[in-house]
Structure formats: C-alpha cells, structure tokens
Structure 1
Amino acid sequence: MTDSNSTDGLESKTFTGGCHCQAIRFQVIVRKFQAVDCNCSICSKKGFLHLIVPPEDFELLQGEGHLATYTFNTGIAKHYFCKTCGVHSFYRPRSHPNDYDVNLRCLDNWWQPEVQIQFEIKPFDGQNWEQRVDSIS
C-alpha cells in the first residue's frame, strides 16, 4: 500500500512486523523514512533502531495479551516486549510519549537490502539524552 502523504519526498508505505515467535504482530505506515540508532544503555543492548510514528500510523494486529511492559528511571517510556520470546518490537518512548516507536529490525523482511536501503539511519547520543532529546524529530 502506498499513498502520497510522505514528508520526505518518498511515498508512504505500509509494513508489517512482529516479534520472533510471531505472537505479536503489528502494521505501521511509514511516511518519513528516517530512523534513529541510539547509544543509550537500553537501546544499545536491545539493538533497537527507532522509527517513531503517530498513533494513527500504528496498529497492533495481534498479541496484546502476550505483551509485558518494562519501565525504569522516570517511568514515562513503556518498553513492551513479548512474554514468550522476549523481543522488543515496539514501545511508547519518553521523547514522544503519545507516539509509537517501532524497531526497524522487527519489520518483516528487514534483512533484505531493498527494505533497508529505504531508510536513513541517524546516530543519536542517548548517553547524553537530556542534552540531546530536542534533536529527535
């Protein structure tokens, strides 16, 4: 599915994804093909590549009952993960608490070069989150 409501010149695209065991499945509409690679303690350990989307562009297709939540520090971010396989495929980020943050690595076929080449990955200094958070668009 594509449409012309993109913010970066590319047409929007709909992707599906989920956790390793497939208990969690989601759909996301991508309008801005930019993601963030954060070096903070949790993101670097999870290998999370951040694609932040508004709630109207994210849909949980299945697995709500399989989700567990991890919070720390301020408790604002809601780090969801699958109770069965432990994979963190999306969460509600502290920087954008009303949005969803999808892990690009959990998109179906992320490993294919033709999928990866569509996204610009920008590094983010999450080790200095407080000083840098305003740079996340």
Structure 2
Amino acid sequence: MTTLNNESNQSFVTHTGSCHCKKVIFQVDAPKILEVQDCNCSICTKKGFLHLIVPNSRFRILQGKDDLSVYTFNTHVAKHYFCNTCGVSPFYIPRSNPDGWDINFRCIDPDTVESFTVVKFDGQNWESNAENLAHLSKS
C-alpha cells in the first residue's frame, strides 16, 4: 500500500477554514506540513478540490451547519457539502473514508500551514486506487 500522508512524526495544530462568504467555518487538527491529494476524477477536476482526509475526531464545524446543502451522485456514499450562499465546497464525507472527512485544502486559512506537497491520485480509476486512501481517516 502506498502511504500518501506522513503524519506520524508531526504534532498537530488546529487549522481554521471556511467557505468563500464565511458563513461556514470549520476547524481541522492536522500537521503544519501537509500532504494533500489532487484527484483527477470527474467531480474533483471540475471543483479543483485538493484533499486532506482526516478522522471524524479531528474535524469540527464551528458555524453554518444550517447553511450547508449536500450533493450525492453515483453510489451516494460520498456526501459533498457546499454553502447555500456562495456555493463553495469546503469539505465532504468521502466514499473512500466514510468514517472521516475530506477537507478542501484550498479552504484552509494559510496562517497555520508551514508548507504542503501535492500528490497525484488517480480517481479516474477509483476502484483500483481507493485502498491507498483508506488509512487516512484512522485515528
């Protein structure tokens, strides 16, 4: 199995993020140095989503839960949340990790991120590659 995220040697900080209009605000506990995935599947390509997958215990919606709508397609396992006002999708529950959250790295405020690396993920062949992401939502 390919390891896409090396968090074992890093301590976590609390990152804050939001949608564009800031009606939806969230926090995620993750390292200062991040590795995010750039998926080439149909929806991620269109949205420009850069993925930071974390366990449920490391994600919190602080504001705007009632301002969110959800979009599903295909298997309907993934729950793609977006702001009702500005339309930005700051996070979703991914099919690869239904017990965790997938944060849109582009929605995280940059002041707590020291650096990041983008790793390509072949989502066009999701069935063959999803197991490479499964470990990311484990505590």
TM over 0.5: yes
Indicate which of 123, 126, 129 corresponds to 1:126. 123
Question: By how many angstroms is 1:118 displaced?
Answer: 2.3
Equivalent residue for 1:60? Answer: 61
Equivalent residue for 2:106? Answer: 105
Q: Which has the higher contact order (CA 8 A, sep 6+)?
A: 2
Equivalent residue for 2:13? Answer: 13
Aligned length: 128
Question: By how many angstroms is 1:135 displaced?
Answer: 1.6
What TM-score comes out, normalization by structure 1 length?
A: 0.87
How large is the Cα RMSD of the aligned pairs?
1.8
Deviations 1:50-108 (Å, cap 9, x if unpaired)? 10111110000000110000000000000000000000000000000010100000001
Deviations 1:3-53 (Å, cap 9, x if unpaired)? xxx833222111000100000000000048321110000001101011011
Give the letter aligned to residue 8 of structure 1: S
Aligned equivalents of 2:77 and 2:71: distance in 1?
Answer: 10
Aligned equivalents of 2:70 and 2:44: distance in 1?
Answer: 15
Aligned equivalents of 1:7 and 1:85: distance in 2?
Answer: 32
Give the letter aligned to residue 104 of structure 2: N
Give unpaired runs (5+ residues) of structure 2. 1-5
Give the letter aligned to residue 34 of structure 2: F
Give unpaired runs (5+ residues) of structure 1. 1-5
